[in-house]
């Protein structure tokens, strides 16, 4: 398997941001239940979590998928488009804030940047060197 194929097969997490019109929060939250059920039935979905604001009108959906290909299939699917048409006057997705990660690369780059993630062996070594001394200390 090539490096590119391995990257496509890695699990991926994506954060989607929604701007909800004031006073429409309850309708949006009802909508989130339906689209979440739909996404969970889609091949490759490993879970959806919603982060709701304490104040303000930005909601965040954290989607976990088995690989980038299946995530892309969901994002471009007719099912998702159908759900989006239902709330065009309630909320809008802020696509410029969409972020996707495959794992520990977020330790090495800032969100929104296009910096290439370090090789997997470097992330494993860094994790091991950070965790091993701590585990020894705790024991």
- The pLDDT tens digits along the chain (139 residues) read 444 554 557 888 888 899 999 999 999 999 999 999 999 999 999 999 998 887 778 999 999 999 999 999 999 999 999 999 999 899 998 877 676 666 655 555 555 555 566 777 887 888 888 888 888 888 8
The C-alpha atoms of residue 87 and residue 114 are separated, in whole angstroms, by: 31
Q: What's the confidence (pLDDT) of residue 97?
A: 66
Q: What's the confidence (pLDDT) of residue 14?
A: 87
The C-alpha atoms of residue 44 and residue 108 are separated, in whole angstroms, by: 27
CA atoms within 13 A on the CB side of 4: 0
- Phi/psi of residue 113, nearest 5 degrees: -95, 160
Q: What's the confidence (pLDDT) of residue 45?
A: 94
Q: Which letter does DSSP use for residue 53 in this model?
A: -
Q: Which helix (H) or strand (E) holds 132?
A: helix 120-138
């Amino acid at each position: 398997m090539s490096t590119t194929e391995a990257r496509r097969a890695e699990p991926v997490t994506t954060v989607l941001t929604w701007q909800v019109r004031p006073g429409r929060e309850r309708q949006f939250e009802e909508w989130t239940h339906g689209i979440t059920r739909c996404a969970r039935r889609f091949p490759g979905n490993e879970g959806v979590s919603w982060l709701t604001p304490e104040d303000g009108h930005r909601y965040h959906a954290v989607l976990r998928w088995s690989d980038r290909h299946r995530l892309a299939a969901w994002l471009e699917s007719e099912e998702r488009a159908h759900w989006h048409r239902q709330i065009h006057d309630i909320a809008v997705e802020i696509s410029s804030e969409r972020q996707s990660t495959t794992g520990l690369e977020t330790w090495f780059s800032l969100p929104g940047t296009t910096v290439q993630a370090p090789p997997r062996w470097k992330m494993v070594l860094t994790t091991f060197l950070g965790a091993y001394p701590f585990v020894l200390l705790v024991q």
